[in-house]
Chains A and B, each alone.
Chain A
Amino acid sequence: MTSAQEITTATASGIAGRGSVLDIEAVRADFPILGRAVRGGNHLIYLDSGATSHKPRQVLDAERDFYTTHNAAAHRGAHLLGEEATDAYESARARIASFLSADPGEIVFTKSATEAVNLVAYAMSNAATAGAQADRFAVGPGDEVLVTEAEHHANLVPWQQLCQRTGATLRWFGVTPDGRLDLAGMDELINDRTRVVAVTHQSNVTGVVPPVAQIAAAAHAHGALVLADGAQSVPHKPVDVTGVGADFLVFSGHKMLGPSGIGVLWGRRELLESMPPFITGGSMIEVVRMEGSTFLPPPDRFEAGVPAAAQAVGLAAACNYLDTLGMPNVAAHEEALTAHALEALSGIAGLRILGPLDTDHRGGAVSFVVDGIHPHDVGQVLDELGVAVRTGHHCAWPLHRALGAQSSTRATFYVYNTHDEVDALAEGVRQAQKFFGTA
């Protein structure tokens, strides 16, 4: 079997072949939705996994299995089902932790990556009134929150709001013409007033993988916290939290073959221990009196309400599925598709790709603009051919402005996509050019 290393080398020198380290036929057979027909009776060519991914039988079965066999409110009830539900939930936590080489106590379940970012941002504004132990999280006038122009709105708007709530100042890294972070001003942007740096681990528009470890080192030297948005990285390549360099990492289950409604905040234990909660209520309390309440240690402190145990179990099953494929193989498969897409689309006159044109530190989101044809129309023609892409700003409006694009068409790749599907994407764009008379 071809190793991931060989495929990577091969794609670096061009499109070596259309084989894959993954057994694509077997993988696709695991995804029931891939069997359905779409517009015009075409079979589905799904190139929108960056928005949400499809689910293999194994994940669907695991979630359903929880409901049919072990369903109860976890962390409650002394009865058998309650014990089983709790066990399933905590086992899921441990499984997801091992997927990231993390400690289970550092895994907080949220609804999504978006909620996870908000959890940290609100912890920081809540720190103003949470007592001395939360002081390191407090921000106010004179303090700086550093983000980037390349962020998804989920890792931008909550920080804007934090600044609005607390009087802190928002600052940001700009981007270079090929969508990479412009680090030229880093020595000034990261300074003693910087309290938190929020940066993408992989762009959902350009695929760019910024040097998070380097940025984190600078941030830590000034005592700032670092949050990395892993929504587009964790599903697509091996991620070891100890190597990322950040203090917090967020991601969503539904983008990594898992159910919707479950996400993860990974945070360093010593930070979570002194962080005030965001959403409060049942499950996260220690003692409750009318006059006030105390809170549990992490991760429970940040998990108010009855746990989404079925969804956590589904996400754990997704981790199992991905580890069976092997994350290095997943990454290699996607790198080959990305290289193929970059080459195929670069060959189309009147098409401009947003972001780098090779796969060096660049993942599988390929966004592009076509002269004379609005992305929505490009997407419509592709849709008629059964090809599903995303059109618009992809929740990264400032990035689009910075790259001189009013909006774009985006293809994203995952474990069930094939080289034939990349060909169909390119062919569909050419058809759009013919139809709108711009070819």
Chain B
Amino acid sequence: MYQEIILEHYRRPLHAGLREPFDAQVQHINPTCGDEVTLRVALKDAGGEPVLADVSYDALGCSISQASASVMADMIIGKTVGEAMDISEAFLKLMQSRGEAEPDEDMLGDAVAFEGVAKYPARIKCALLGWMAWKDATARALSERAEPEPAVQDPDGEKL
């Protein structure tokens, strides 16, 4: 399970750290094992489709959760939200495959290294933690764009 790629990303995580600007921030926790991740998403428009300008994170957890967040960030930064969602779906499928599926290397890139994790059910949530946080943050960032919070509220809390 501990492929060299995973250990590499654990020792030297890519895109780690929380950066500005960002559109949404979430904090996800895996209560059973103590993995935590704080994750920010920054979107930009490029020809009508939202693009992931930046995905920054602070991950406190096991090698699998940290490496997965690193691999994820490296793969999806610069892609459209739609493209990143496809990768996310493919990764989820790989995690649920019990090690029996043939992973799509073109789609998943380095993430295929997590193939072995699917044989250890207790670690699947670790590998998915970053992805779940990213999906949550992206959903919030997108809905924020659709219905932005007003810059000013009157003292009674009513939206102006």
**Chain B residues closer than 8 Å to A400, beta-carbon distance:** 34
Q: Does A283 contact B (CB under 8 A)?
A: no
**Chain A residues closer than 8 Å to B31, beta-carbon distance:** 392-393
Q: Does B123 contact A (CB under 8 A)?
A: yes
Interface size class of A (residues with CB under 8 A): 10 to 19
**Is there contact, CB below 8 Å, between B34 and A391?**
yes
Interface size class of B (residues with CB under 8 A): 10 to 19
CB distance from B64 to the nearest CB of A (A): 7
**Is there contact, CB below 8 Å, between B32 and A374?**
no
**Is there contact, CB below 8 Å, between B61 and A374?**
yes
Which residues of chain B in 127-158 are interfacial with respect to chain A, using CB atoms and an 8 Å cutoff? none
Q: Does B18 contact A (CB under 8 A)?
A: no
**Chain A residues closer than 8 Å to B126, beta-carbon distance:** 376
Which residues of chain A in 331-390 are interfacial with respect to chain B, using CB atoms and an 8 Å cutoff? 374-377, 380
Indicate which residue in B2, B34, B62 contacts A393 across the interface (CB closer than 8 Å).
Answer: B34
Indicate which residue in B7, B11, B34, B65 contacts A375 across the interface (CB closer than 8 Å).
Answer: B34
CB distance from A218 to the nearest CB of B (A): 34
Chain B 34-58 interface mask (CB, 8 Å, partner A; 1/0): 1110000000000000000000000
Q: Does A436 contact B (CB under 8 A)?
A: yes
**Is there contact, CB below 8 Å, between A380 and B123?**
yes
**Chain A residues closer than 8 Å to B64, beta-carbon distance:** 376-377
**Is there contact, CB below 8 Å, between A392 and B63?**
no
CB distance from B70 to the nearest CB of A (A): 14
**Is there contact, CB below 8 Å, between B63 and A374?**
yes
CB distance from A422 to the nearest CB of B (A): 24
Alpha-carbon distance A374/B59, docked complex (angstroms): 12
**Chain A residues closer than 8 Å to B60, beta-carbon distance:** 406
Q: Does B101 contact A (CB under 8 A)?
A: no
Alpha-carbon distance A228/B156, docked complex (angstroms): 47
CB distance from B122 to the nearest CB of A (A): 8
Alpha-carbon distance A400/B34, docked complex (angstroms): 10
Q: Does A435 contact B (CB under 8 A)?
A: yes
Q: Which chain A residue has the least Cβ–Cβ distance from B1?
A: A380
**Chain B residues closer than 8 Å to A435, beta-carbon distance:** 2
Chain A 383-413 interface mask (CB, 8 Å, partner B; 1/0): 0000000011100000010000011000000
Given A391-B34, A393-B34, A406-B34, do A376 and B62 touch, yes or no (CB 8 Å)? yes
CB distance from B49 to the nearest CB of A (A): 37
Alpha-carbon distance A435/B6, docked complex (angstroms): 13
**Is there contact, CB below 8 Å, between A377 and B62?**
yes
Interface centre among A377, A391, A400, A437 (most CB of B within 10 A): A377
Interface centre among B11, B34, B63, B65 (most CB of A within 10 A): B34
**Chain A residues closer than 8 Å to B61, beta-carbon distance:** 374, 376
Alpha-carbon distance A377/B7, docked complex (angstroms): 11
**Is there contact, CB below 8 Å, between A376 and B2?**
no
**Chain A residues closer than 8 Å to B65, beta-carbon distance:** 376
Alpha-carbon distance A376/B30, docked complex (angstroms): 11
Which residues of chain B in 22-38 are interfacial with respect to chain A, using CB atoms and an 8 Å cutoff? 31-36
Alpha-carbon distance A380/B33, docked complex (angstroms): 12
Interface pairs A-B: 5 shortest CB-CB: A407-B34, A376-B62, A374-B62, A392-B33, A392-B34
9 further A-B pairs in the complex, CB-CB below 8 A; given A375-B34, A376-B126: A374-B62, A374-B63, A376-B34, A376-B123, A377-B64, A380-B2, A380-B123, A392-B33, A436-B7
- CB-defined A-B contacts under 8 Å, sample of 22: A374-B35, A374-B62, A374-B63, A375-B34, A375-B62, A376-B33, A376-B34, A376-B61, A376-B62, A376-B63, A376-B64, A376-B65, A376-B126, A380-B120, A391-B34, A392-B31, A392-B33, A393-B31, A400-B34, A406-B60, A407-B33, A407-B34
